[in-house]
Amino acid sequence: IPHRIPKQKGVGKAPVNIALSKYWGKRNVDLNLPTNSSLSISLPGLGTETQIEWIENQSDQIYLNETKMAFDSSFAQRIRIFLDLFRPSPKGGFIVNTVNSVPTAAGLASSASGYAALVLALNDCFQWGLPLKRLSLLARLGSGSASRSLYEGFALWHKGQLDNGMDSYAEKIDQAWPELCIGLLEIDISTKPISSTKGMQNTVNHCELYQAWPDKAEADLQKIHRAIQDKNFQQLGQTAENNALAMHATMIATWPPILYWQPESVAAMHKIWQLRNDGCNVYFTMDAGPNLKLLFLKQDATVIQTHFPSIKIIQPFPQ
Ligand code: 2P0
């Protein structure tokens, strides 16, 4: 990182992303180095906007959605530890104003857009002028999935080989797919029982099935990457759904068990499988929460909306 005097204010804005091939498990907890690479799609219009300012002789102040967060709250603590990497002097603090257009900690990774927006704001504040790959690497240190939120469209986070993590960052996959739709099916937006950070660490340490996960995740990623290049929707949907269920299988097989699903999540899965049996090309993926994200093409949007009246449909690519 180049040494620069901070300017008055820095701003950054980043989208949330949904992994089609998931990140679950770290080989290095301090550096957020993953056991496997992952591939995501960003959702434009949903995400985080952050302003940051450095002020001498003052401690950090962190605002989330215009509410000041308590100094010892886990939210503020985590951000302060991250900001320790960038302090220009021991005296002084950052004023951070962060606004989410997604519910915090509800399975629509707000930590991903949050740390990506924070790094973009720091890049602006300190006038580093760093390329997105470098910023992706820095965002990864805040939250693994944040490495993928620097980009619109598809992104691939390379797990990397190095112990210092310098090759573990995301890159854009330069391929548009205007017909592709994501449907957000909200089951429950209350805070999840166990954070992803803890959940994945418990899985790595207390699940015998986990040893099969890294190879499967890499193979799924390759299949999904190819499906994107070939615009093969069935291959994309099938692989993404199977990848999500395999990830959840490792969680469920952990002791003590980790189950993010609610009865309504399972009911929605059955409904999707029924629709598929009836000839509708729809698949789902799920993250560390009870909500489902449906994958389908624009031509099926009306049918999906009819069967799931509350669904929010996003078109990730320009029309
Ligand atoms: C993903 N998730 O690939 C996976 C799928 C949740 C399930 O990345 O500890 O918040 O901050 O690196 O990035 C959520 O994990 O975890 C996540 P940390 P993060 O989207």
Pocket test for ligand 1, best of 20, 40, 141, 200 (most atoms within 8 A of CB): 200
Rounded Cα gap, residues 182 and 122, in angstroms: 31
Rounded Cα gap, residues 42 and 48, in angstroms: 12
Whole-number Å distance, alpha carbon 201 to ligand 1 midpoint, is: 11
Q: Which of 65, 121, 54, 122 is closest to 94 using CA atoms?
A: 54
Q: Do you find a cis peptide bond into 256, omega within 30 degrees of 0?
A: yes
Pocket test for ligand 1, best of 143, 156, 203 (most atoms within 8 A of CB): 143
CA–CA distance from 315 to each of 177, 260, 276, 309, 310 (Å)?
Answer: 9, 26, 21, 17, 16
Query: Quick one: pLDDT at residue 103?
Result: 58
Residue nearest to atom 9 of ligand 1 (CA): 197
Rounded Cα gap, residues 134 and 139, in angstroms: 9
Whole-number Å distance, alpha carbon 199 to ligand 1 midpoint, is: 10
Q: Where are the alpha helices (DSSP H) in 53-183?
A: 74-83, 110-125, 132-142
Rounded Cα gap, residues 37 and 224, in angstroms: 12
Q: Among the atoms of ligand 1, which is closest to the Cα of residue 145?
A: 13
Query: Quick one: pLDDT at residue 1?
Result: 75
Element of type H or E holding 302: helix 301-307
Residue nearest to atom 20 of ligand 1 (CA): 19
Query: Quick one: pLDDT at residue 105?
Result: 41
Per-residue pLDDT of the chain (319 residues; tens, 9 = 90+): 776 667 779 999 999 999 999 999 999 999 999 999 999 999 998 999 999 999 999 999 999 999 999 999 999 999 999 999 999 998 999 999 999 987 554 456 679 999 999 999 999 999 999 999 999 999 999 999 999 999 999 999 999 999 999 999 999 999 999 999 999 999 987 777 899 999 999 999 999 999 999 999 999 999 999 999 999 999 999 999 999 999 999 999 999 999 999 999 999 999 999 999 999 999 999 999 999 999 999 999 999 999 999 999 999 999 9
Q: Among the atoms of ligand 1, which is closest to the Cα of residue 22?
A: 3
Neighbours of 104 (CB within 10 A): 16
Rounded Cα gap, residues 103 and 46, in angstroms: 10
Find the residues whose C-beta lies inside 6 A of ligand 1: 19, 22-24, 32, 38, 109, 111-112, 143-145, 196-197, 287-288
Query: Quick one: pLDDT at residue 269?
Result: 98
Rounded Cα gap, residues 183 and 41, in angstroms: 13
Query: Quick one: pLDDT at residue 107?
Result: 52
Give the DSSP letter of residue 3: -
ipTM: 0.99
Query: Quick one: pLDDT at residue 313?
Result: 94
Whole-number Å distance, alpha carbon 196 to ligand 1 midpoint, is: 6
Whole-number Å distance, alpha carbon 23 to ligand 1 midpoint, is: 6
DSSP, collapsed to helix, strand or coil, labels residue 160 as coil
Q: Give the distance, in angstroms, between the CA of residue 143 and the centroid of all CA atoms in the same chain.
A: 9
Amino acid making up residue 177: W
Neighbours of 89 (CB within 10 A): 8
Q: Among the atoms of ligand 1, which is closest to the Cα of residue 111?
A: 10
Residue nearest to atom 16 of ligand 1 (CA): 197
Q: Return the exposure string of 25-62: e unless at least 16 CB atoms fall within 10 Å of the residue's CB, then b.
A: bbbeeebbbbbbbbbbbbbeebbbbbbbbbeeeeebbb
Calculate ∠ Cα 199-204-206, nearest 5°: 85
Q: Which of 241, 181, 228, 219 is closest to 43 using CA atoms?
A: 181
Whole-number Å distance, alpha carbon 39 to ligand 1 midpoint, is: 12
Element of type H or E holding 221: helix 213-230
Give strand pairing partners of 52.
10, 96
Q: What is the pTM of this model?
A: 0.96
Whole-number Å distance, alpha carbon 13 to ligand 1 midpoint, is: 19
Task: Report residue 252 as tokens.
Answer: 């469920």
Residue nearest to atom 15 of ligand 1 (CA): 196
Task: Report residue 43 as tokens.
Answer: 């959702």
Question: Which residues have CB under 8 Å from 123's CB, separation 6+?
Answer: 10, 12, 129, 130, 135
Rounded Cα gap, residues 131 and 193, in angstroms: 37
Q: Among the atoms of ligand 1, which is closest to the Cα of residue 107?
A: 6
